[in-house]
Every structure is written in structure tokens, then in C-alpha cells.
Structure 1
Amino acid sequence: MLIVDQQPLFRRGLEEALPAASDGGVRVVAGTDRADSAAMLVRRHQPDVVIVDLELDTPGPLAALAAIRRAQPRLPVLALTRHVQGVLEFLGAGASGVLLRTRSPAGLVPSLLAATGAATRPAPQRTGPQLTGKERHVWTLIAGGASTAQIARALHVSERTVKRLTAGLLRTLGVANRTEAAALAGRAGLLDERRSGSPP
């Protein structure tokens, strides 16, 4: 894993926590706080997954993602963020999923391991009739980092209904939680469907 994050202590914490939590299966091969160094480190270290902080300084996370895509077009890239703002743009540019930043690196590890597993497994087939339109809409909102309350407002339903829809969606996708669902969204072609004008 390569981590492109502006906080060195956060990167160091993940470097220490991930191998222990994954029995050595996941480790950080390199880290940087510079968006313009991301592609060079990808070429040098050949990571399986890249995490990009959406609060990177200029030239910023989108520039980092574009450079990574030029270096390795199929490499899974996960966004790390505190906020929903900017997530859909990053996913729409080709990222594989999103992780919500926690106060400590250790707090992020379970979600990171789940998302890493989802990002590195073979890409699923594009979503077809097995998802209803409402489930696809919920999936899109989850991929954008929306909370249960935000999804409820967007769909004009109760939070209880959103929880029921989300549980059904996770079962259909074969994932364990919302983080894995978000990580799969870009690779399943969901964001491509949105850009081409397909109904949610």
C-alpha cells in the first residue's frame, strides 16, 4: 500500500498498525505528503492499493490521481477524507472508493482492511437487474460518503427505511459494510452510468 497523506504521524501510525492487524498481509511500502510524488512512488514501489488524502496541498488530490492513473491505469485508488465535499468528483475521476478519516490511524484500520480487500479482488460485473433503481441510488449516495440521514432526505424516506434498503443492498453486493460498498462503486461502473445519464 502507498499512502499519500499530508500528516506524517498518521502515515506512520498506519505503517505500524496495518501489518499487525492483517497478520502481515497488508503493509505500507511508501508514503508521501506530496501529490506530485505519488506517480513516481507508484512506479518505484508497485503498490497494490493507493490511499490519497483529499486535503492534499497543490497540485492537489485530483492531480495525484491523474498522475497515478497514467502510471498504472488499473491500480485501485481510495480517497481519505473527513467530509463529503469533493468525494464524488474524486470518484468520478476514477477512484475506487472512499474512506472516512478517523482521529487515530488505529481507528481507520478495520475500514481500511475491508476496503483494501474489496479494491484488490477481481472487479465485479457491472450492476444489472439484480439491483433496483432505489438500491442503485442508495449505492451512489453511499459512494459519495452520505450519512443515513442525508440519504433519507435525498430519497424522501425515513432513516429506518434507509437502513433497511442499505442492508438489502449490502447483501446483494456481497459486501460486509458501507465502506466496502463505497470501494466497489467505481469499479462496478456505477459512476460511469451516472456520467452517461443513466437513471439512478
Structure 2
Amino acid sequence: MTTPRRVCAIRDPIPAYRRGIARELEAVGYETAEPGDCIAWIQRFHQAAHSTEYRLAALLSIRSEADVDVLAMLRTYDEQVALLALLVDPDIDNYRQALDAGAGGVVDYAASPDDIVAALDATWDGAVRLPRAVVIEFLSRPRRSNGIPPVCESDVRRLAALANGWSVERLANHENFSTREMFRRLQELYHTLGVSNRHQAIAAAARHGLLDGSLETGQGPSCHRAANR
């Protein structure tokens, strides 16, 4: 079986930084790109005749909430893409925010090229490389309760559609939204459920009985609270 080609998009406003990371990645066998629109870049691979020949990754510098939104949209759009967040401000809360938004790995923006490559490689294996202090802080915080906040009926319908294999684009078209607006709404829903991606959201909804068909339908934006279990 042919080994898929690893292709990595690099998103950062500083050309010299992008080129430096690209050189390091290319030295260890990655192909690189610097797309202006990462979602459009991913779409081109989806539409390619031999899309399975590629494994995609994206490195995104996180400087603002807008960058976090881009990270979240990419995770919502394609959960198979390896996403590595490069934190310009490596505060512990920013590590948590990046992971909550869907990053498969998080590293300090000022980390050495070797550390960045190692962190990216780890994401392919489903591992996350984090500083020891960050891990200790995460583990020291209390667990969330098993209950979930109220979930509106329209959100339940979206979860059911996702559980039935609908794409974000199909869901957006069905509700007459743009794809980006649907990304935004789904991210708000994931945040409400305390999860970071569609698989976790579907699992949480099923666990709390939101997908069992017991909710009454109606025309108003009524909300329902799942019983704590």
C-alpha cells in the first residue's frame, strides 16, 4: 500500500516565519502550502480524483479570537485534518482555548522548529505534546458535572442530522445559511455541550437522551433540558 503524501498548510501573517517552518517540514518529508483560505484549500483535496493519496495538516498561529474561530471552523469542516495551534501568548488558558476549539496539538509559537515538527508528528498518532505545567494545571481543575445546559430544538435537529451523516454544507443549505454561518452556530452548540467536535457532540447528545426522538416538535424556539444522569 502506498504511503499517503503528507501536506501541511501554514497560516501566519509573517512570510519569513512561514518560509522557515516550511523549510523544516519539507526537510522531513512534508509538502507545504501557504493558502489564504484554508477551507478552500482543503476543499480542493476533497475534490481531487485521488484524495486518499494525501493526509492533510494545518499549522495556525493563534494571535486573536479571530484565529481561534478559524481553528474551530477548520475542525468543524474536516475532523481528519491534523491541526496544530502555535500560541503567540502561551498562557495556560490559551492552551485550553485552542484545545477546546479543536486543535490536535498546541505548541509555543517561539518553540524550536524541531519541537514544532515533533508536536505535529504527535498529532498524527493521536497524541498531544504539552508543557508539564500545563498538564498539571489541567489535571488540577475539577471535573465538569454530567448535566448539560438547555439545548434548543433547532440544535437537536442539527445534532440528529450530523448523527445521520449530513455534512456541514448540506445542513447549511437545508437551513438557508451560509456554510460559515453554520460553522459558527455549530461551534456555539459545541461550546454549550462542553465539547470540541461533532463526534463528541453526538456522543454527549445521545448520552443525555437528546437523540431518542422524545422531544416534542414545535414552531417556536423552545429549549429542553436533559435530565442529569
Greater length-normalized contact order (CA 8 Å, ≥ 6 residues apart):
1
Question: What does residue 34 of structure 2 align with?
Answer: 31
Q: Distance in 2 between matches of 1:89 and 1:78?
A: 13
Which residues in structure 2 correspond to 1:1-200 (within 5 Å)?
1-20=8-27, 22=28, 24=29, 26-28=30-32, 30-32=33-35, 37-45=37-45, 48-55=56-63, 60-82=66-88, 83-84=90-91, 85-102=93-110, 107-109=112-114, 111-121=115-125, 123=126, 143=130, 145=131, 147=133, 151=136
Partner deviation per Cα, 1:149-190 (whole Å, 9 max, x = no partner): x949x96xxxxxxxxxxxxxxxxxxxxxxxxxxxxxx99x9x
For the 8 Å contact 2:24–2:117, the answer to whether it is kept is no
SS at match of 2:56: coil
Question: What does residue 173 of structure 1 align with?
Answer: none
Q: Distance in 1 between matches of 2:22 and 2:56?
A: 15
Partner deviation per Cα, 1:54-75 (whole Å, 9 max, x = no partner): 115xx71222123212331222
SS at match of 1:74: coil
Residue 45 of structure 1, CA deviation: 4.8
CA distance 1:48–1:62, change in 2 (3 Å): same
Q: Which is richer in helix?
A: 1
With normalisation by structure 1, the TM-score equals 0.51
Residue 146 of structure 1, CA deviation: 6.0
Q: How many residues align?
A: 128
Question: What does residue 151 of structure 2 align with?
Answer: none
Amino acid of the residue matched to residue 120 of structure 2?
T
Amino acid of the residue matched to residue 83 of structure 2?
V
For the 8 Å contact 1:6–1:55, the answer to whether it is kept is no
Percent of aligned pairs sharing the same letter:
21
Question: What does residue 135 of structure 1 align with?
Answer: none
Question: What does residue 177 of structure 1 align with?
Answer: none
CA distance 1:117–1:68, change in 2 (3 Å): same
Mark the runs of 5 or more structure 1 residues left unpaired by the alignment. Answer: 125-138, 156-185, 193-200
For the 8 Å contact 1:38–1:67, the answer to whether it is kept is no
CA distance 1:151–1:66, change in 2 (3 Å): closer
SS at match of 2:79: coil
For the 8 Å contact 1:48–1:120, the answer to whether it is kept is no
Amino acid of the residue matched to residue 61 of structure 1?
D
For the 8 Å contact 2:24–2:113, the answer to whether it is kept is no
CA distance 1:147–1:80, change in 2 (3 Å): same
Amino acid of the residue matched to residue 60 of structure 1?
A
For the 8 Å contact 2:58–2:82, the answer to whether it is kept is yes
CA distance 1:89–1:101, change in 2 (3 Å): same
Structure possessing the higher radius of gyration over alpha carbons: 2
SS at match of 2:21: helix
